[in-house]
Structure 1
C-alpha cells in the first residue's frame, strides 16, 4: 500500500529549490500533452557568463492570466535489515497544471492572484501495486482517499497574495474546495454539527498546506531584489519535523547568478541553486536506542527567471535524500536484535511556464 505524502511532503522539501537536471528527454505519462514532462534544459540563446548583479522583481498586471505545469518524479527505495533483509521500491509521478489570474495589484508591490488547479495526473507503481488518477476520471479504489482529495483540489480556486520579491504573504478563499471535500464524508459522520466543524477545520488546514506547497514552486524569494554573481543569497529554513516524530530536518538554500541569455526574445537570468540539510534525532527516540547510522540531504541546479516578464520561465530540481536509522527490536528467535532501516529518495522537480 502506498503512503502518498506528495503534496505536503515532497513539495515542502523542494519549496525553496527549483533547479538541476541530469537528463534531456521527455517523459510521456499518457497521450494527453497535459501528461507529458519536458525534462530538457531551457534553450537559452546569446548566453554569456554573468558578472556583477541583476535585479529580480516579480511583475503582475491586473487582468493578466498565465499558467504553470509542475511535475514531481519520485523514486523511493527502502531496505530493512535484521535477522533477514527486506527491500521495496516505489516510483511516483505527479503532474499538476495551475491557472492564474491577477485580480488586483497594490502600489506595484503586492498582487492578489486567483489560483485554480486545472489538472492533476498521478501514477505510482511498486513491485506489486499500481495506482493512478487523472482529474475528471474514475477514482481508483486503491487510492480512494487521495483521489477524492485531488478531486476536491481541482473543484475550486483560492487567492494568493504575492509581493515583488516572490514572498507568498497569504493564501485564502478555499471555501468551494472545502465544501467539495466535505461531500465525500459519510452522512453519518456529518449529521452532528461538531463533527462537521471539526472536519471543515481539518480540511481547511490540509488544503491550505497543499496550496502553499504548490504555489511555493512558482512564487519564491531567491534574492533580496538583487541577485549577484560573486555572492550567494542564503536562506536558512526553520526546523521541519518528520511525520514519524523520530527526527527533524534543518535545510539551507543558496542562490547565485550564473548566466544571462535570451529566450523567445526576452532577457532571462540563469540562477544557480544549491540545497543542503542536516538531520537531528529526537532526544526521546535516542533515549530508546534509536539513532542515525548515516544521513544525506542535498540538491542543486538552475532557475530560469524572465527579467522582462518578471516570472520564472522554467526550472528543474533534483534532491537526493538518504536516512539510515538503527533501532532495537525483539527477534523471532528470542532476545533483541538491531534493525537498520534505510530510506533513499530521489525527487526530480520540474516547473514550466505554459503561457
Structure 2
C-alpha cells in the first residue's frame, strides 16, 4: 500500500467514517476519490445498511461544491403524488392544498449536490422531469410554464436492481444510463468480513467515548463470532449491535459470552433472518433478563436510523425552505455515523420497564405505517394475532 493510498484511507475514515481495506471496499473507495472532484453524476448501489448515504456525503465533501448545500431526498419516503412538487417546487394555487409558493429541493441545492436515495422508487412521470434537469439543468415548478435553471450535481442510490426495473418498463433506460456516469457498487459486509475488526474498533471506541467507558478491546473468540454472522443489515446492523452491547454490558474487554447475548440465532449464510421480535416471556428469557432488554434496545437503535428520513421529511414540510437555507449553509443528512440525541421515542429510555418499551415500539410502528396493522406486525417481527393481543393488553385498540 503506497503513501497516497494510506493518506486517502485515513482521510475517508477520519472525516467520513468510511472504513475498509478489503478488495471490494478498495475498489469502491478508489472510485469515490476519482469521482468526487468531477461533475459527473454518480449512481451508488448496494444492500440496505452498506453506507450509500455516507458515500454520497463523502463525494460532496470532497468536491468543489462542498461549500454549498447538500440536500438529501428519500424518494421512497415521499408519496408519489407529492414527489414532483417536493423536487421541483410549485406555485401558489397549483393544486388544492398549494396555498403558498414552494421552492423545491433542486432549487435549494443550486450550486451544490442533491442526493436522491431510493431512486428506484421514483415514478416514471417524475423520471422524465429529472432527466431533463440532468441534461439541461432546466425545469419548471408545478403550476408554472416558466423555465428555471439550476446548477446541481446529482448523486443517486438504490438497493434495487435498476436493470430489472428498466426491463420491466418501471425505470427509464435513458435516465439509468445518464445517472450511472460513475457507478459505485458497495459490497455487503458478507463480502468483506476481514473489515469487521477495524469496523468494530471504530464503532466501539466512539461508543466508549460517548458513554465514558475505558474500552480495552475484544477477544479473538468474540471477534470470530462476529465474523461468522450473516449481517443482512450490513454495517448498520454491526454498528447497532456494538452500540447496544457496550452500553448494556459496560465491559472494558469484550468476551465471547458478551457477544452471544446480542447476536441473532444462527442461520445458514445468505439467508434473510426473521425480523427482531417483540419481547415474549419464555423460560430462556427468564434465565437471562438482559437478553430481552438487549433485543429491545437493539431494535430501538435500528428504528432510530429509519427515523432520520422521517425527521428530514417533517423538517422540510414544516419550515419554509428559505428560512432553512438562511439559517444553515449546508442542509446535511444524518448519516450512519451520526447519533440522534432527542428522538421522542427514546426519551427516558433508561427509566422505562420492558412493558413500556414494548408499548412504545408498537405505537411507533403503527404511526409509521399509518395504523396498517399488517405492516406494523411485519416490521415488529410478530404475527397480526399477537399484535392484536398486544393492542388489547396495552389498551391501544
TM-score of the two chains, using structure 2 as the length reference:
0.26
Please state which structure has a larger fraction of its residues in strand. 1
Q: Which has the higher helix share?
A: 2
Report 1 or 2 for greater relative contact order, CA contacts < 8 Å, sequence distance ≥ 6.
1
The two structures have a TM-score, normalised by structure 1, of: 0.28
